[in-house]
Structure 1
Amino acid sequence: MPGLAGRVALVTGAGQGIGAAVARSLWELGVSVAATDLQGEAVAALADRLAPSPGADDGPADGSRPILRPYALDVTDPRAVERTAAEVGDDLGPIDILVNVAGVLRTGPAAELTDADWSRTFAVNAGGVFHTARAVAPGMAERGRGSIVTVASNAAGIPRTGMAAYAASKAAAVMFTKCLGLEYARHGVRCNVVAPGSTDTPMQRSLWTDPESPRRVLDGDLATYRTGIPLARIADPQDIADAVVFLASDRARHITMQDLYVDGGATLR
């Protein structure tokens, strides 16, 4: 995959699921990865499994030996994001790739959501993307290159019952990413979106209430006005990571402000 080896990536929500798959995939392709998550122990475990942390005297990544280093990070805290971005720059080098995966899901009928549900969902899913992009995009522009990929959801493009806050927050993240891409295109910074459908992650499994739940995801559910998945399979996190890696690489060097749906055809787009 051209244009990846020797670069530095910051991945949010890397403790599990899609974020962990993205961090692993980039690292395996020679990218030094700052794996961040609110659950610091989760990214620490990921780093221990894949790439034990180097010693303090090993210096920054030089492209010949990629590093996967964990950082505890709350993306809703703008000061923490700025500090972590600066720390990553000192530890690994200037950030070339940003992948926004961190997200939360609060479900319930639209008119019954609490203020806390709404605020928390937007703080993470939309505010987190804003904070991380603001921290790294200017530096990318100064260097004349960079790739930002936001992992949103196909729910950002189609109404879902019981998911108003999640869908609205992801739609906000999508449009922010596209506007950022328009403003930074002349500086060589590409900004794209990957929109997964149902993917086998802890978040997806939290929605399953009985053994038939996966089958309803595949077949669709008339009671909730939901189509099934034409490809008849629930995505693996690696399916989403592969799309992210492509958009981050130089094979997508002429692609920006795009929204790539990876949902097995579920939204019939």
Structure 2
Amino acid sequence: MTRNASSSPSSEFQGRHVLITGAAGGIGQALALQLLQDGARVSALDLDAQGLDHLRASGGADAAPQLWTRALDVSESGAVNAAIEAAEQALGPIDHLACVAGVLQMGRVTELSDEQWSRTMAINLGGVFNACRAVARGMVARQRGSIVNVSSNAATAPRAAMSAYAASKAAVTQFSRCLALELAEHGVRCNTVSPGSTDTEMQRAMWRQGSSRETVIEGDAKAFRLGIPLRKIATPDDVVDAILFLLSDRAGHITLHDMRVDGGATLDQ
């Protein structure tokens, strides 16, 4: 669901090409729909082909010429490279990149399988590397562009039974800083948005495994987990607003930044 058009600057992304990974649901879908509403050209990548169809339907007939989609696995570099080439042929050079695709893997270290660990790293970190590498090459050549990678506040706050996810997101955060340094001399910015608990299917899956909205807000001393000072769960739009700001020209002098969107849950570590 998109917000009223008056609630966001409708001109800053007008005609710009934004590529989004993980666009079929949650934060990625909310971002895609908002950008379409703001007049952007959107390339949407996701493994979930049905979700991409839903995105296209939700965008409406008016958005159809502005939206290009492809179902793929972001951990496969060849597929990502081909998709980015096709997206630029369809909608023009990519001005902005938002890497939102990710998977949640729960489980204690002693219980994780090789496949669970490797798959988490391949998607959460490898997918970011694949997309950033391919898109950044064009941005460097054009000497302009901006990138936002979605990490997590779990990148800095240790959480029991979340080692694979937290480690992959910590790597994304540091990778983004290194990339930002490399791209700065070319006029290209790279920043990170780190959400906390957000009302998406990923969060609801955690609640189905024994947690709850109330537990997250209140905190859990036995699990060494702080609560949320603002006493609410983020909405996808809360995170989208942060991504849009860092992608936009309003953040033209911001790079290497990690923006927390967690209601204070990590006490701004």
**Secondary structure of the residue that 1:69 maps to in structure 2?**
strand
More displaced 10-residue stretch of structure 1: 257-266 or 69-78: 69-78
Question: Which residue is 2:109 aligned to?
Answer: 110
Instruction: Tell which deviates more after alignment, 212-221 or 177-186.
Output: 212-221
CA distance in 2, matches of 1:182, 1:244: 19
Distance 1:222 1:91, change over 3 A: same
Paired AA for residue 140 in structure 1: M
Partner Cα separation in structure 1 for residue 69 and residue 94 of structure 2: 15
Residue 10 of structure 1 corresponds to 19
**Greater relative CO, 1 or 2 (CA 8 Å, sep 6+):** 1
C-alpha distance in 1, partners of 2:98/2:63? 23
TM-score, normalising length: structure 2: 0.93
- Cα distance change of structure 1 residues 210 and 146 upon mapping to structure 2, 3 Å threshold: closer
Shift of 1:26: 1.6
Q: 1:40 aligns with which of 49, 52, 64?
A: 49
The whole-number CA distance in structure 1 between the counterparts of 2:90 and 2:176 is 26
Residue number in structure 1 paired with 2:5: none
- 1:233–1:264: 8 Å Cα contact kept in structure 2? yes
Secondary structure (helix, strand or coil) at the match of 1:6 reads coil
Question: 1:200 is matched with which residue?
Answer: 199
The number of equivalent residue pairs is 259
- 1:53·1:68 contact (CA, 8 Å) conserved in 2? no
Q: Following the alignment from structure 1 to structure 2, what is the Cα–Cα distance between the partners of residues 264 and 241?
A: 15
Question: Partners of 1:125 and 1:147 in 2: how far apart?
Answer: 20
The corresponding residue for 2:4 is none
Q: Distance in 1 between matches of 2:139 and 2:214?
A: 44
1:77-96 to 2 correspondence within 5 Å?
Answer: 77-96=76-95
Q: 1:110 to 1:91 in 2, by over 3 A?
A: same
Counterpart position of 2:34 = 25
Partner of residue 58, structure 1: none
Q: CA deviation at 1:233?
A: 0.4
Question: Deviation of residue 82 (structure 1)?
Answer: 0.3
Unaligned runs of 5+ in 1: 56-65
Q: Distance in 2 between matches of 1:51 and 1:71?
A: 18
Q: Look up the match of 2:254.
A: 255
* Secondary structure of the corresponding residue to residue 119 of structure 1: helix
The corresponding residue for 1:129 is 128
State the 1:239 CA deviation: 0.4
Matched residue type, 2:250: R
User: Identity of paired residues, percent?
Assistant: 52
Q: Which moved more, 1:215-224 or 1:42-51?
A: 42-51
* Maintained 8 Å contact 2:198/2:235: yes
Q: Show the 5 A alignment for 1:184-223.
A: 184-209=183-208, 213-223=212-222
Helix, strand or coil at the partner of 2:166: helix
Summarize the Cα distance change of 1:268–1:210 in structure 2 as closer, same or farther, 3 Å threshold.
Answer: same
Runs of 4+ in structure 1 off by over 6 angstroms are none
Residues 68-110 of structure 1: CA deviation (Å, up to 9, x unaligned): 2221121010000000000000000001111000001111112
SS at match of 2:185: helix
In structure 2, the gaps of 5 or more residues are: 1-8
RMSD: 1.6
Specify the SS of the correspondent of 1:266.
coil
Quote the residue 2:147 is aligned against: 148
Partner of 2:59: 50
Instruction: Please tell me whether the aligned partners of residues 41 and 91 of structure 2 are also in contact (alpha carbons under 8 angstroms).
Output: yes
AA aligned to 1:15 is A
The one-letter amino acid paired with 1:33 is V
